[in-house]
Each structure stands twice: as C-alpha cells, then as structure tokens.
Structure 1
Amino acid sequence: MRCEIIAIGSELLLGAIVDTNSPHIAGRLHTIGLELLYTSAVGDHEARIADSIRLAMSRSEVVITTGGLGPTVDDMTREAVARATGRALIFDEALLGQIEQRFLRWGRTMTENNRRQAFRPEGSAVIENPVGTAPSFIVDTGRSVVISLPGVPREMEYLLDNAVLPYLRRRFSLTGIIKSRTLHVSGLGESVVDQQVGDLEKLENPTVGLNAHSGVVDIRITARADSEAEADRLNAEVERAAREKLGDAVFGANADTLEGVTLARLAGRGEQVAVVEIGTLGRLSGRLAQADNGRGTFRGGQTKPALDPGADAQTLARDAAEQFGAACGLACVVRAQNNTVEVSVGLWRAGKAGRWARGFGGHPGLAPEWAANMALDALRKALAG
C-alpha cells in the first residue's frame, strides 16, 4: 500500500516554518503497516496544489494533505481537492452548524469568513474536528483516497489517531504492522559498518539501512509482519546478527544515548567523571549534565580558551580529574590551524592515560559534536574491561 503526504502552505517554501507534520504522520502510518513513499510541499496556489494531488493519486493509494483548511482566502485545499478529483465544491449546512456550535461553546463570535470552512468536495466524508474549527474530509475515488487534515499539529495529530488511522484500517483491511528498531554504533565509520553488515542490508524483510551523524552510525532494522510479536522476532534475529558482527561498537538501541550508556557504566562501578573542553562550546559537559545518571556521576567540567604551551589532552584529562575529585578525567580539544581542524581527546583513569587525535574534514561547526562523541566512546570502552 503506497502512501504520500503533501504539506500545503507557502510558509513552508519560504522557510518561515518547518514541516513537523509529515514526519509525525509517517511514524504513525508505520504502526498500521503502511509505507510512506513520497512527501512534498506546495505553496498556497490552487492549480499547483491540484496538480500535486493528481500526481500523488497517480502513484499512491493513500494521499494525505495537511494545511490549507482555514477560513482565509489563501486556504485553498478544499477547492484544490475538488478540482483534482473532478468534483463540485458544495456548501454543507450541517457542517456550518457544527462550526457555529463550536464558536458558541468557546464563547467566541464567528466571523463571516469562517463560513468558507463549511465547503467540501461533493461526495466526501466529513471528519469532525472537536479540537479546532477546521473540518477535515476524505474523498474516496475507488482507486485511492485523499485525506485532508489541518496544518495545526495539535489538531492534525488528534484527527490522525482518532479518525484517520481507524478509517484506513477498515478501508484497506489492514491487519499487519511495520516496526523498527535502531542500533547505535560508535568508533567505526559508516563505510566500515557497511562492510561488516552489508549482507544484512540486502535483506527484504526486515530491511536494514544506515545513517551516520557526527561519529555515530545508526542501523535501522524494519520488519513487516502480521503481529507485533512476529515483527519483534524478525528484528531480533537481524539485531543479533549485527551485534555479532560489530561487537562492542554497538553501544545501544532506540532511545539509548552515548552519554547515557557511558554514565550508566560509570555508575555501575561507583566512579565519576570530570571534563575539560577547548573549542567545543561546552558540548560534552552539557550532554553529561542532562543525561540520566548525570547527577551522581558527572562531577563537573570547565572550558578553556586555548591549550596551554606544553600541555596535551592527556594532561588536561588528569588535571580535570584531580580538580573535581573524580576517578576519570576527559578532555576534548578542537583546534583550527592552517585551514585544518584537529579533534583530540584525552582520557585519564586509574593512573592510566590515553590520547586520540584525528583530522576533521567536515564543517567546523560539527567538530564539537564529533569531539564529544570521541571522548564518550573512549571512556565507554575503557570501562568495558
């Protein structure tokens, strides 16, 4: 079953707001076994909206639009859906009565332009909106369905869960689900991870995909099944294979974070950590302070403007541990020299020191996150023994 989302509103194309509706809808569609293949955004122009809907209907069975259902002149979704599906736009007196009742209930005066919201494509099914003024609707053409939802996230989410998803289950006799599990890998580049799990990426069910960001690689495992238990079983088999191939480079799954996992290991040993940072804007300290177990295991941190002459990351790590009375010290240093950026990390624990350094070829603004992840990964591995 192919699905498509069209986000409507010129403000999206102008960069004035970010479309958060489409990712939310995508996640909810997965829970009932529907696969999203396309998303798009179109401005407030009736002909272009209609063209987008026609294209979506030509390649998808489910088309969901968001936005353009308000009372103003530039809210054109009603007209565009009618135009795209070859239907007349009709005025619904019963729908107007519902809108009027909401205004009475809220103690507000309805303006004349709110009457526009009582128009809908002929033959459409109305989705009553108890949490807003914009009624939504469904047009079923036989081959595909067009579902138009408000652009206000709170209203859209309510109608999606309470009306749209149950309708789609009935309409398409959906019994299966799609369920994902994401493994997190640190200390290995995306190309290395790809070499290790490349055979898993060729599977059809579950599917396996990679996503790299700032020194962490996510492995997303997604299974289709008739039940949640079956999906979990399929995902678990692939997860087990991935962990066997990658070993301790896999530090967690789903909501696990590198700082959370590392601090949990520290807490299990009754140890604490202190940090010092140069050129990172305090990125590592901020993540440790906000993480679970941070209060008991993160002793404190400081930022310095530059590396002292003759000092290195190992020395900084030792000094941080001694200053804050912690068992472990971490140092993160980001230095720009001669048009190059170097990231170095120092670790001091139980009288032993280590240092790691690498050149950084990405955007300089990403270097602090890389440095923080390098430092956390070094400490995590030191605590594994």
Structure 2
Amino acid sequence: MKSEVITVGSEIMSGHTLDTNFRFIARKLSSIGAEVVWHTSVGDDHETVADVLRVALRRAEIVVMTGGLGPTPDDVTRKVVSTVLGRNLLLNDSVLEAIRERYRMRGTQMPGINERQALFPKGAEVIENKVGAAPGFLIKEGEKLLFALPGVPLEAEVMLEQHVLPRLTQSGTPRGREQVVLRTVGLPESIMAERIASMREQLEGVSISYLPHDYGVDLCLTFKKGEPTQLALNERVARQRLLPILGKHFYGEGDKTLEEVVGELLVSKRRKLAVAESVTGGMVSQLITSVPGASRYFMLGVTAYSDETKCKVLGVSDELIREKGAVSEQVAIEMARGVRKKGAADIGVSSTGIAGPGGGRAEKPVGLVYIAVATQRKASAEELRLVGNRALITRRASAAALEMVRRSLL
C-alpha cells in the first residue's frame, strides 16, 4: 500500500524548523509495510496546500498530514481538507468542551480563537491529542485514508503510535514489504559496504540501504513482498550472513538507541555508572538520563570543564595536567577513576578533548578526544580524531563514550 506524507508549515520551508516529523512517520509506516513513496513539504498557503493534497489523494492510498491544526489564521489544514473533499466544517461540541476544560485546569479562560480547533470536516473521525491542545482527525475517502496530525513533533509521534498505526494494522492494510534496521556504531560506511559486497549475491529478496548519522551507520534491509514463510526465511538468512560482518559494532535493531542498550546492559549486569565530562559538556549524562528508569544505574554526572574542577572534584593531579595537558590519555583515565570513586559506581567513564573551532594546535588539533573507562580492576582510554563542527564533535564524542561503556559490559 503506497503512502504519502505531507508536512505543512512555512517555518519548515524557510529553514527555521527542522522537519523531524517525516523521518519518524516514514520509519513507522515502513515498519508495518505501508511503503512511503512520496513526501511533500509545503508552506501555510491555502491554495498551495490544496494542490499538494489533491495530487496526494490521486496517487497514494494513505496520506498523513502534519501541521496546520492550530488556532491561528495561518493554520489552514482543516479548511484545505474541507475544500478539497467538499465536506463542510462542523463544530464538535465534545471536543470544544475538552479544550475549554484544559484551559480551566490551567486556571485560565479559553481564548475564542481556539474554537477553531473543534472544527472538523463532515464525517471525520476525531483523533484525541493527549499531550497537546490540537486534536487530529481521520477521513476515509473511498478506499483512501487521510490522517491529519498536529505539527508539534511530540504530539504527532504519540498520536501516530496510539491511533494511526493501530488503525492501519486493524483495518487489514496489506503489507507491501518488510523492513529490518540493524544499528551499528564505530564502523565507517565505506568499510561496511566493502565487507557486505563480498557476500551480496548470497542475499536473495532483499535490498540494502546504508543510513549514516552522527552516531554511526544504520543498515536498512528491505525484503520484497512474498509469502510469510519466504519472508521469514530471507530475513533469517540475511541476519546469519550480516551479523558476523557487523560484529561488535552491532548494538541493536529498529529504533533502539545506544543509550537504551547501555541502560539495559547496566541493569542486567547490576552495574552502576558515573560520568565525568569535559569536551562533551554534560551530553553523555543527558543521553543516559533520557532513558526512563536510569536512576537504577546512573549514580553521578560531573561536568568538569575547567582544570581546577578536574583537580578539586575528580582528584586529577595538577602536576599531571601540567605535564601531559588536560587533553591527554592520562588525564582522561584519572577523570574516569575519580568519578567512579566519587559516585561509588562500578564503572566510570570520562571525556576530554578539543571541540573547536579554536584551541587546537599541531600536536593537539581540533577534534582530538580521549574517552576513558575505569572499573575496580582496570582503566583504559581511546584516542579519537573526530571531524566536524563543535556540535558534531560533541555528539560523536558522546556516542563514543556510550559505546566504550557498552563494550566494557559485553
């Protein structure tokens, strides 16, 4: 079943807002076999959005729109759908009361302009928004399904997971193809491709896509539609061939994140973690604590950006910093040891480096990073030479720290 995603918003077209909705929606639709064939982004102009929607309804069986459901005049989605489908907008009294109640709970009165959010094209099925004010809706137009969701990413994601995907699977949406995403870290795309090329002919009924990102490379396997038994066989063979090639670089599947995997390992091994950060500026701790239940294994996070803090809080020798420099293997190890001891943890991980754009020199250039892991028995550090701007170096160094913790737990 072919799908199209339409993201509405002038803020997207002007470059002020990153369109994260499409990536999330496309991956989720693909995971249930609803192949995303088209994606269109469009500004908040009634006629332009109407033209885009007409085209989408002609060629796609499933259309998912995000954005344009707010209360302001530039939120045009509901009016566009009404115009294109020839369905009058009707006021839903129960939705209106729910919006009013939301404002009453905040101790304020609903502005009159918000009444627009209770207007829906005739025959539309309301999709509840449990995390925001703007409800979505579903319209069945012949054999086609049109979903309209808010543009706020969190709201769109929750509504897609709780309403859109269950509706599509319950309605018997034919599965066009199966997808499996294998996630890796620390293995360059070109090396991965060379290794896989040597045995590509052994994989039948599957296409392979390489999806590089800041933290690593995802390997997307798309299996051609067929009998369930044949699909299962093709998937099993692909795993048997590919996982040994990916080796220790493979850490999970689907949407599983590196920080989630690290958390699961820490719980299963009954280990506690403490983090000392310099170059990553607290990002490692933020990633770890973004996982629900992190309090079971995360003991302490210290952002020791200055040399003075490294010495006073983490116990790094001032003499060692003068001799080797704050950006060194030896200092990274002492930071990891110090935070492990201070946090009464089983594992300490640290980061020190030069994120740039300034501060580098010939012997210690921008992008030089040391990551260290310390346990009760041993401590070791890895030297990295990262490329990119300050933000990218910080993200890659954070991923490297998580990966080093993961490997220490294997």
With structure 1 as the length reference, what TM-score do the two structures score? Answer: 0.71
Q: Find out whether 1:337 has 2:360 as its counterpart.
A: yes
**Aligned equivalents of 1:135, 1:264: Cα separation in 2:** 37
Query: What secondary structure does 1:221 align onto?
Result: strand
Cα pair distance change 1:99/1:111, threshold 3 Å = farther
Q: Find out whether 1:127 has 2:124 as its counterpart.
A: yes
**Aligned equivalents of 1:104, 1:379: Cα separation in 2:** 50
Q: Indicate conservation of the 8 Å contact 2:72/2:113, yes or no.
A: no
Q: Indicate conservation of the 8 Å contact 1:346/1:355, yes or no.
A: yes
Cα pair distance change 1:152/1:299, threshold 3 Å = closer
Q: What is the aligned partner in structure 2 of residue 252 from structure 1?
A: 252
User: Which is further off, 125-134 or 6-15?
Assistant: 125-134
Q: What is the aligned partner in structure 1 of residue 182 from structure 2?
A: 183
Cα pair distance change 1:247/1:164, threshold 3 Å = closer
- Out of 76, 95, 99, the position equivalent to 2:92 is 99
Q: What is the aligned partner in structure 2 of residue 50 from structure 1?
A: 50
Cα pair distance change 1:355/1:128, threshold 3 Å = closer
Q: What is the aligned partner in structure 2 of residue 282 from structure 1?
A: 282
Q: What is the aligned partner in structure 1 of residue 330 from structure 2?
A: 314
Q: Find out whether 1:357 has 2:373 as its counterpart.
A: no
TM-superposed CA distance for 1:33, in Å, is 2.4
Greater Cα radius of gyration, structure 1 or 2: 1
Q: What is the aligned partner in structure 2 of residue 13 from structure 1?
A: 13
Q: What is the aligned partner in structure 2 of residue 377 from structure 1?
A: 403
Cα pair distance change 1:64/1:270, threshold 3 Å = closer
Cα pair distance change 1:81/1:351, threshold 3 Å = closer
Gapped runs of 5+ residues in structure 2? 102-109, 129-133, 308-319
Written as runs of structure 1 = structure 2, the 5 A alignment for 1:176-325 is: 176=175, 178-198=177-197, 205-223=205-223, 225=225, 234-254=234-254, 256-262=256-262, 273-288=273-288, 295=295, 298-302=298-302, 303-306=304-307, 308-311=321-324, 312-318=328-334, 320-321=336-337, 323-324=341-342
TM-superposed CA distance for 1:149, in Å, is 2.4
TM-superposed CA distance for 1:317, in Å, is 1.6
Query: What secondary structure does 1:211 align onto?
Result: strand
User: Which is further off, 359-368 or 54-63?
Assistant: 54-63
**Aligned equivalents of 1:299, 1:117: Cα separation in 2:** 47
Q: Deviations over 1:70-103 (max 9, x none)?
A: 787555556655776xx7x464xxx74x635755
Written as runs of structure 1 = structure 2, the 5 A alignment for 1:70-89 is: 74=74, 76-77=76-77, 80=80, 89=86
Q: Number of residues paired by the alignment? A: 368
The letter of the residue matching 2:126 is N
**Aligned equivalents of 1:290, 1:65: Cα separation in 2:** 28
Q: Deviations over 1:95-132 (max 9, x none)?
A: 74x63575578889997997998796xxxx82232747
Percent of aligned pairs with the same amino acid: 24
Q: Deviations over 1:240-274 (max 9, x none)?
A: 32111122221333454444545655666666554
**Aligned equivalents of 1:133, 1:319: Cα separation in 2:** 49
Cα pair distance change 1:230/1:23, threshold 3 Å = farther
Q: Indicate conservation of the 8 Å contact 1:184/1:251, yes or no.
A: yes
The Cα RMSD (Å) is 4.7
TM-superposed CA distance for 1:281, in Å, is 0.5
Structure with greater strand share of residues: 1
User: Which is further off, 9-18 or 334-343?
Assistant: 9-18
**Aligned equivalents of 2:352, 2:305: Cα separation in 1:** 10
Query: What secondary structure does 1:214 align onto?
Result: coil
TM-superposed CA distance for 1:136, in Å, is 5.3
**Aligned equivalents of 1:289, 1:359: Cα separation in 2:** 27
User: Which is further off, 271-280 or 160-169?
Assistant: 160-169
Gapped runs of 5+ residues in structure 1? none
Cα pair distance change 1:253/1:356, threshold 3 Å = same
Q: Indicate conservation of the 8 Å contact 1:301/1:320, yes or no.
A: no
**Aligned equivalents of 1:378, 1:246: Cα separation in 2:** 17
Q: What is the aligned partner in structure 2 of residue 41 from structure 1?
A: 41
